[in-house]
Structure 1
Amino acid sequence: MMKKIHLLILKSFIRPFIVTFFIVMFVLLMLFLFKYIDDLIGKGFEWYVILELLAYQSAVQISMAMPLSMLLSSIMTFGNLGESYELVAIKAAGISLRKAMMPLFILVGLFSGGAFLFSDYILPIVNLKMGALLYDVRVKQTDFLVKPGIFNNTIPGYSIRAKGKSPDGKVLYDLMIYDHKLSNTASNVLLAKEGYIYNSPDNNTMILKLKDGVRYEDSRARKAKAYNPRQQFTRFYFKETEQKFDMSAFAWKRTDENLFKSHHAMLNLRQLRLYTDSNAVKMDSLRNTVQREIQSYYFYFNDYYQPKNPITGIPEVNYTTRFTEVIPKDSRSAAIGSALSQMRYIKDVLNTKVGEDSFYRDKDIRYKIEFQRKFTLAVSCLLLFSIGAPLGAIIRKGGLGLPVVVAIIFFLIYHIISTVSEKAAKEGNIDTFWGMWMAIFVLSPLALFLTYKAATDSSLFDIEQYRLRAERILAWVKARLGIRNRKTAEPPKSLHDNYTLSP
């Protein structure tokens, strides 16, 4: 019987988990496309480049899709079991909820272990390839595209305008081309009634075949700026000619991935330890260098003007109002000027080194945050399952209605706490350990509380129960107010009320 119950719970969990996982992945991919849609449109990418980018992004989004789908599927699973009274039947058979859920705990533990291995071994490689490809996608220039009536400046050294074009974009009408390669002025202008666009066989050159046009060229732009009375202004009429444009700026080039290997998101645990130690050595060396460089400029003025104690070797300072009294008057101005110049030097040294020190300190924080992130992904899956499973058993509602709303609310709480604390850790306001584990520490008591309520069959989310309690409280308040009103409505008694007069 236990085996059948275990199979029932596992099947009830795996199906919603797979469905919700792919739904969440699809939503996150759509958000990614909306974010980078301007970087992808109009650049002439091949279809496999877009698919490669989406594949890498899908792997990157597992770190967010896994915990959310774990929470949502656990609420749906136990909500369905509670709504169909299967949990009641399991408890009526004398099997506790903890024993019935034991295989599910093992499965979730395997998922969490797999998430940890994924974040340590696979995710750094995916981040490396994703970062390099996304950099190339964003850097690549847009393919040559002419809009009617608007100058196009994407080709270096040229400005092209066409009043109209054919539906397929291959034929342009009423062309005007400015050539700026030799000068910033409009010294070379070409006008044509029609132009046909096609590429060379190697796709490195765009050829524009022009018909019925004229070229205006001013030779002053190529010569000295001195005045020359014999300036030449050339005009060429043509029936048909070709204008070639270098398209190397639009060529697709892949950046070497080794340039991104030292980024904190591209490192595993072993590499993060190594980079953290080497960065700490550089930071300590920088601070020791600054200390040695400015230490020689800190001394007492009275070291030079007051005799030292023969026993302690410390100068005896004797002044009443200012420390400059220990300096002779004829040397006081020189001493103050020397002090000011040394203070300026110390200030310049510190201002120069503070930027470098901040750079190493930020790198140290990033390495430590990424180190903790490897573990928080696995633990977050366990935490959100521990919240979702008892929550579904208490709510006893299945489907994609109320469970989705509740799951989104709890995930938003977790995500907001995690994001705020991580940002505080990046800014150095709190320790990186607390910044990355804050959301888990805050929500862990909630998971324990919900687990206790589910094990004791608590009606925590029963609206009818809260309505009855509210009615009892309202009735008690009305009763108390009614007693007080009756007491205040009775007239006060006097001594004459206790006596009656005989006739």
Structure 2
Amino acid sequence: MFILLLQTIWLFISELAGKDLDFAVIIKFLTYATPRLIPMVLPLTILLTSIMIFGNFAENYEFAAMKSSGISLQRAMRTLAVFIFFVGIGAFLFSNTVIPSSERKFVNLRKNIVKVKPAMVITPNQFNDLGDINIRVSEKYGDNDQFLKDVIIHKKGARLGNFTVIKATDGELQGSIDSDLITLILNDGNYYEEVQPKSPKKKKKLPFAKTHFKQYALNIDLSSLDNVDMDAQQYSKGYNMLNVNGLREQIDTLSIQVNDEINATEDDVNRRNGFKELNRNLKIDTLKKATKDTLDLIEDRFNTKQKSQIYNLAFSNADGVIRRIQTAKRSLEVKKRALNKYEMSLHDKYALGIACVLLFFVGAPLGAIIRKGGLGLPIVIGVVLFLTYHFIGIFAKNGAEEGGVPPFVGSWLSTFIIFPLSIFLTYRATRDRGLASFDIVVQPIRDFFNKRSNKKDRINSSSIDQEINIEIGQNTLVEVEKDRTNFKENSSLVFTLFLLLLIVNIVITLISKDAGGNKTMLLVFNGLGGVSYLTFFIKSYFNLKNFYTKLKGLINEPSLILFLILGIPLFPIVYFFYNNRVNKDLKKIR
């Protein structure tokens, strides 16, 4: 939580620094920013703590003691499961009440902080709203960033539209603390103004005025910004600022607007083309057959000038219809994107509580299976699982926002994926089974690779066993079994990571539409997963090497170079073969 809060401070530090804000305002800022982190922090906390606690119990044989006393794993999880159920309900209530309120206050506080020092609003390479102008600069420099380079200004006026543009090579902001005016000195530029005559004929000529200046002073009135109320709330309709009831009302409103836009576009297109007038006052002689098509009739009845006018009119009407449809399409895309955001925000409130419960049933049995507590392996497994859950949710929401998948799927996809995983892990843990059993798949592969070697082993097994049992000591046997156990655990984890990375990449590739954003997220996920994959792959290699080093000269050692070459790209094949080989070689020395 603290790390994510620091990330929030780093993200918005430019809005806080250098604005002479009170300490109370900064505390408000951080307080309002904290609840938005709960949907990420709470599921991660539940997953990590459940893995660590139950892994610690299993590592210290607490579950063995419980089972000897007649307490099953289900009974041990029962109280915590009830507690997590109420935590899930609390998470829903929190996301429905506290988060919308804090988000509304957070957004409005940011807007009000921006008004304290308008000069800080000017961000390079984008248009910034400053008083009665919109200003864009390519660079700010100087001790107080008062010097501006490549200035473009759009002045606001009484008329709706952009009619006045000022461009300058550079500029300087000047002002004093006691003054309500800030002066922008522009150097070496041009002043453009579009003239709007009343006569329609003159409007067609698109008249404008252009003036070149060496220096131009523009005064900006800041008197309205003297008394900024930090608690003022002007923005309250954002999709993350509403509770369930507010979201449903907004969804209904946007749905009506989308339907009205579609109907209005359809009526407008029909009116432009006159489709509704086609069947009016139309008399059809069913006995008379048309001998000429429409173009032939135009050729016969009208002269060249009239035909040109008819064709131009038809082209103009068609072009107008196309433009109208394109405009409506862009408008509908914006409204549908907003509608998708509101629908996903509604589903997210329910999905958060369900995810908390399911992640507990993923973490608790997983900790009991891996039998590792503390801050080592459980942290790695928990973070990898959560990143998978989180990234799938992000990719699904990106696809849903663009309309690639329904908003319901975008919000619930990651939860749907961990649901069968929670059932599977709970089932395996309650029956004292390992993380996975691949005997159905592995057995045919084992038979294929070991068909010849098994015949030879059956002939010489007794003599080999006697020879090895004589030459190997008890201490060496214990160390060999330890290496075999470590190899099995690490290789199983590598196998799981391999399948996880493969499945996530396939799923994200299928559901994603935004190639740019998803490519970055995939790189981050594959980078983190790849580091974990290589780490445990190397550990499993050294476990395997130590195993056969202690048995050197006693049994035939398989090729470890093959393990390295095929292991990284084709680990499932290596996993099945070498685990089977290690188990078989271990039986020879027992």
For 1:417 and 1:289, locate their aligned partners in 2 and report how far apart those are by CA, in whole Å: 38
Contact 2:340 2:407 in 1 (8 A): yes
Distance 1:327 1:471 in 2: 84
Q: Separation in 2 of the partners of 1:431 and 1:273?
A: 17
1:276 aligned onto 2:251: yes
2 CA distance for matches of 1:393 and 1:316? 86
Structure 1: gaps of 5 or more residues: 1-24, 157-183, 185-189, 191-198, 207-245, 479-503
Distance in 1 (CA, whole Å) between partners of 2:87 and 2:583 is: 52
Contact 1:72/1:403 (<8 A) preserved: yes
CA contact (8 A) 2:112 2:232 kept: no
Q: Does 1:86 align with 2:86?
A: no
Q: Which residue of 2 aligns with 1:129?
A: 105
Amino acid at match of 1:115: A
Q: Which has the higher contact order (CA 8 A, sep 6+)?
A: 1
Which residue number in structure 2 is paired with residue 430 of structure 1?
Answer: 405
Residue identity matched to 1:81: F
Structure in which a larger fraction of residues adopt helix: 2
The amino acid that maps onto 2:242 is L
1:260-296 Cα deviation digits (max 9, x unpaired): 1111111111111111112222222222122112213
Q: 1:412 to 1:323 in 2, by over 3 A?
A: farther
Structure 1 pair 67–82 and aligned structure 2 pair: CA distance change class (3 A):
same
3-state SS of 2:34 partner: helix
Q: 1:68 to 1:346 in 2, by over 3 A?
A: same
* In structure 2, C-alpha distance between the alignment counterparts of 1:288 and 1:464, rounded to whole Å: 66
Matched, 1:101 2:77: yes
Aligned equivalents of 1:346 and 1:459: distance in 2? 65
Task: Confirm or deny: 8 A CA contact 1:204 1:248 kept in the other structure.
Answer: no
Query: What is the identity, as a one-letter code, of the residue corresponding to 2:99?
Result: L
1:325 to 296, 299, 309: 296
Cα distance in 2 between the residues matched to 1:296 and 1:76: 68
| Amino-acid identity (%) | 30
2:354 to 376, 379, 391: 379
**Aligned pair count?**
365
Listed one character per residue, the Cα deviations across residues 424-454 of structure 1 (whole Å, up to 9, x for unaligned) are 0011111000111111112222222211221
Q: Which one is further off, 125-134 or 344-353?
A: 344-353
CA apart distance, 1:344: 1.9
Query: What is the correspondence of 1:154-303 to structure 2 with a 5 Å cutoff?
Result: 154=146, 251=226, 253-254=228-229, 257-298=232-273
- Mapped to 2, the partners of 1:275 and 1:100 lie a distance apart of 45
- Going from structure 1 to structure 2, the CA distance change for 1:297 and 1:39 (only over 3 Å counts) comes to closer
Give 1:340's aligned residue. 315
CA distance in 2, matches of 1:400, 1:472: 28
* 2:335 maps to 1:360: yes
Question: 1:197-219: per-residue Cα shift (whole Å, max 9, x none)?
Answer: xx9xxx8569xxxxxxxxxxxxx
Q: TM-score, structure 2 length as denominator?
A: 0.55
**Helix, strand or coil for the counterpart of 2:405?**
coil
Amino acid at match of 2:29: L
Residue aligning to 1:115 = 91
Shift of 1:330: 3.4
Whether contact under 8 Å (1:308, 1:316) holds in the other structure is: no
CA–CA distance in 2 between the matches of 1:251 and 1:50? 19
1:451 to 426, 429, 444: 426
- The answer to whether the 8 A contact 2:251-2:342 is kept is yes
8 A Cα contact 1:79 1:396, kept in partner: yes
Bigger Cα Rg: 1
For the residues of structure 2 that align with 1:475 and 1:388, how far apart are their CA atoms?
Answer: 30
TM-score by length of 1: 0.64
Q: Distance in 1 between matches of 2:408 and 2:119?
A: 47
